[in-house]
Amino acid sequence: MIPGYQKQKKPIERDEQIQEQVIETSTDCRWYALQTQSRHEKQVRDRLLAVGIEPLLPLGKQRRQWSDRKVWTTLPLFSGYCFANFAMTSSLAVLKTPGVVRIVGTMRPEPIPAEEIAVLQQLSSVNPMMEPWDYFAEGAWVEVIRGPLIGVRGQFVRRTSHHGLVIRSSLLQRAALIHIGSDEVAPEQ
């Protein structure tokens, strides 16, 4: 080494950046939200399944205008996000999955509460008419008292022509709207 000169540092590679994000070494599986590349949610879900990680990708139907007609398309309720159940020891494998940008959290990955995941799983199995809905902080908390979604809690929203129940995730700052009659919900106790 030449006196007075410092050795240049090598550029940080993607694997080293990913390893810096892996903080915890917990071995218990928890649900995390994964930010994905644009329009890669379904591919991420399939790739996570292929490596043995349990994904959750709630889908909803939207009516889209094509050039000559309107069609129903199946799209993720939370565009740009997929949920996965894994231990933090597996986070490196998750982050190396093509299409995954990062594990969502503030400063470090934060697990999603089990109640929110249970609601999303219940909604995915029933598959009601759902559409993406902007996140908002106002509205009364209600619980579904009739029908296949009995026990689901969320915020009630009144729209001009029909009623809707909004299920939201505070971590993602996103929500989903379910079309439901006002007689099927009651104020949460």
pLDDT in tens, 88-111: 999 999 999 999 999 999 989 999
Q: Which CATH number fits domain 9-112: 3.30.70.920, 3.30.450.20, 3.30.70.940, 3.90.226.10?
A: 3.30.70.940
Question: What pLDDT is stored for residue 2 in this prediction?
Answer: 56
Determine the topology of domain 113-189 in CATH.
SH3 type barrels. (2.30.30)
Least confident residue range of 60-69, 140-149, 180-189? 180-189
Question: What pLDDT is stored for residue 7 in this prediction?
Answer: 54
Band (pLDDT 50/70/90 cuts) for residue 29 is: very high
Question: What pLDDT is stored for residue 98 in this prediction?
Answer: 97
Q: What is the pLDDT of residues 43-67, one digit of tens each?
A: 999 999 999 999 999 988 877 888 9
Question: What pLDDT is stored for residue 152 in this prediction?
Answer: 80
| Long-range CB pairs of 3-6, under 8 A, 24+ apart, other chains included | none
Q: CATH 2.30.30: which residues of the chain?
A: 113-189
Q: CATH 3.30.70.940: which residues of the chain?
A: 9-112
pTM score, two decimals? Answer: 0.66
